[in-house]
Each structure stands twice: as C-alpha cells, then as structure tokens.
Structure 1
Amino acid sequence: MIIAFAEVLLARGLNPAEQLLITAGDINPLAADMTFIQLSPLGIPAILNTGNSLALTVNSTRYTSVYYFHQWEGRLRLHERIQAMRVFLS
C-alpha cells in the first residue's frame, strides 16, 4: 500500500521523497527489515520500528537514507514547535 500510494503521488506530479514520510512498525524483525529493503531503493523516506505496538515498546528503529537526505528530522522538529505554539496561542 505504501508503494502504491507513492506511485499515485508521482503520477500527480508530487515528489514522495519530499512530501511523504512513512512511520511503520512490526513485531517481527524480518518483516520490518523487508519493508526497509523495499522502501530504501524506491526513495521513500521512512521510520521503521521493530517492537510491540500493543505494549508500546520499540526494540529498534531504522531510517531509510532518504529520511536523512531530505532532512526529515529537522522538519519534524519544526512541525512539533509549530504545533506547540498553536496550542499555546489557543
């Protein structure tokens, strides 16, 4: 579904590397690694967690290289600051 969505963005003239950030997780490390292997060469920025979503535990986190190329970490921090300011002002 992630790849299909990225293809739709491309078909509409949008760049998934700049306008799409995937956060996904699985309890099975092999499944998380397979997702990482599929998304990395396609240029889809992603945060991939291995852990138990029901227990809210994360054992490991991997980031695709495009996550770093398009500075998603800084963009997320900026988004969090803007959201905090909106809450403060309301």
Structure 2
Amino acid sequence: MLAVKIAEVFGWERVPVVADGHAPLVLHLLSPAGRPVAVTSDLASFWRTGYPQVRAELRGRYPRHPWPDDPTTASPTRRAAPRTRER
C-alpha cells in the first residue's frame, strides 16, 4: 500500500509492482489536503474511468492545483500555483 497525493502520480501509466513483478502496489490517492479520494491497483483504468469524476469534484475545492485533462501526459508535481495578491 502506498498513500500518495494524486498530483504526484501524474504521468504514471502503471502502478509500481513488487515481488519480482507479481504484486502491484495498491495506491491510496490523496487530495491536496491529504484526504483519501480513491484506491486503485490499476492506474490506467483509474485515469480513464475514475479520474474525471475525482477531477470534477476537486477542481472547485482546490483551484490552485493542477487538474489536467490527460493526467498520463502531465508532469507530476508537489506544488500548487502561487496565490495572487489582491490590492
């Protein structure tokens, strides 16, 4: 089991495997706040089917964070966009 923020696995097409390639890790995907939003051992399927719903829910809650249309081609990141100062 690996708990990781969803933006840190952008660009991944598969879940890492252990035991000489016989056991895929189970990913607990977290929101930018560190709350669980999904659990998967099939990342390719998650990007196609689960991610669009997760993206729709989290985009409004975390607007400074990247929510790419195609997460398989996006670069992984730990950072949010900087806040803009209002005057």
- TM over 0.5, yes or no? no
TM-score, normalised via structure 2 length: 0.28
Higher helix share: 1
TM-score, normalised via structure 1 length: 0.28
Q: Which has the higher contact order (CA 8 A, sep 6+)?
A: 2
